[in-house]
Amino acid sequence: MAIITVSRGSMSGGAKFAERLAQKLAYPCLGREVIVREAERLMSPKHDRPVHPKIGIGAWERLTTDRCLYFAAVQSVLIDACLSGKLVYHGHSGHMLLKGVPAVLKIRLIAPLAMRIDTLMERQGLGYEAARDYIHDIDHERARWTKFVYGVDWMDPLNYDLVINMADFDLETACEMVVTVVNRPPWTNTELLQKKLSDFALACRVKLALAECPDCRTICFNTVAEDGKVEVLAEVAGSGSWLKRSGPTEEKVRAVVEKINGVKQVKVNLHWFAGTDA
């Protein structure tokens, strides 16, 4: 019983690996595209325009409201898919969305550039230089995006439990290695995993509700939950006392959170500090 995230570079065989691994484990398998599509569907009745990170990092730095709502929705959809305790997810940052959840096996799939170029040339009929440039651009954009959103180096092996070079293993052997790992502790601690998943899912629902609230959505909140007890934290920079007067009060935040199913107790800690004038 485990949540397995597979991070892969373009043309590294990540989707095929994840699907075969899921078959061997009898786990459901989801890709990033499915999670994003479901998150956008979740947001669409409550948001007046499409929200998607492809608008570019520069714009997203300015669109705090959209960014918080988007990631709250994506994280909430992903954790809901994990509640059974069995899932193989492939995308380049699933392990970061589930940071703090135990028994998440974080896998990074790599392959030599030449191997990836050959795969792309065969699949799309591209020339060598076009295929090389395409892979370079995709990898560069993913690295920039992960650094911008999560503050980490996407390619750093320390962010993963297992890094597999697909030049050294065939698909079946690579999958069998992972099957062996997930059948050993700590991945077999189902009781701890279920509790932590439930707590994390509640924290994500709280974060999404706050991101959807018109009075609260100007702030990106951090949320923590344990046994129905929820803590909401945020540090907010303002110009003098203006933002504190116009932003959400702790009472407003508490009122939003208390309506969420599963919440038994709420603690709100909004730390206001002086920022620079616009």
Per residue in 107-135, pLDDT (tens digit) is: 999 999 999 999 999 999 999 999 999 99
Tokens linked to 139:
């990898």
Rounded CA gap, 69 and 47, in Å? 9
Strand-strand pairing, 87-90 and 3-8: parallel
What pLDDT sits at residue 277?
A: 45
> pLDDT tier at 54 (50, 70, 90 boundaries)?
low
**Residue 83's pLDDT band (cuts 50, 70, 90):** very high
What pLDDT score does 50 carry? 46
Average the pLDDT over 40-47 and give the result: 69
Helix/strand/coil percent split, the chain, to 5: 55, 20, 30
Q: Is 56 helix (H, G, I), strand (E, B) or coil?
A: coil
E strands along the chain, which residues? 3-8, 29-31, 87-90, 104-110, 162-165, 222-226, 229-238, 265-274
Interhelix angle 171-182/14-25, rounded to 10 degrees, is 50
Let me know: does 117 contact 135? Beta carbons within 8 Å.
yes
C-alpha of 61 from chain center = 18
Q: Please spell the DSSP secondary structure of 174-240, one letter per residue.
A: HHHHHHHHHTSTTTT-HHHHHHHHHHHHHHHHHHHHHHH-TTTTTS--EEEEETTEEEEEEEEEEST
- Cα(52)–Cα(198) distance, rounded to whole angstroms? 27
Q: Average pLDDT in the 260-266 region?
A: 96
Amino acid (one-letter) located at 204: C
Length of the chain: 278
Least confident among 66-70, 200-204, 229-233: 66-70
> How confident is the model at residue 273, as a pLDDT?
61
In the three-class reduction of DSSP (H, G, I as helix; E, B as strand; rest coil), residue 108 is classed as strand
pLDDT at residue 236, rounded to an integer: 65
Amino acid at 238: G
Q: Residue 233 — φ and ψ, nearest 5°?
A: -130, 145
Q: What is the pLDDT of residues 140-195, one digit of tens each?
A: 988 888 888 788 898 899 999 999 999 989 999 999 999 999 998 877 767 888 89
Give me the domains of the chain, ranges plus CATH numbers: 3-190 (3.40.50.300), 213-274 (3.30.70)
Instruction: List the one residue out of 63, 17, 70 whose CA is nearest residue 176.
Output: 17
Q: What is the mean pLDDT of residues 7-13?
A: 85
| Whether the model pTM is above 0.95 | no
Rounded mean pLDDT, 210-216: 87
Alpha carbon of residue 255 to chain centroid:
27
> For residues 106 and 161, is the Cβ–Cβ distance under 8 A?
yes
Neighbours of 150 (CB within 10 A): 15
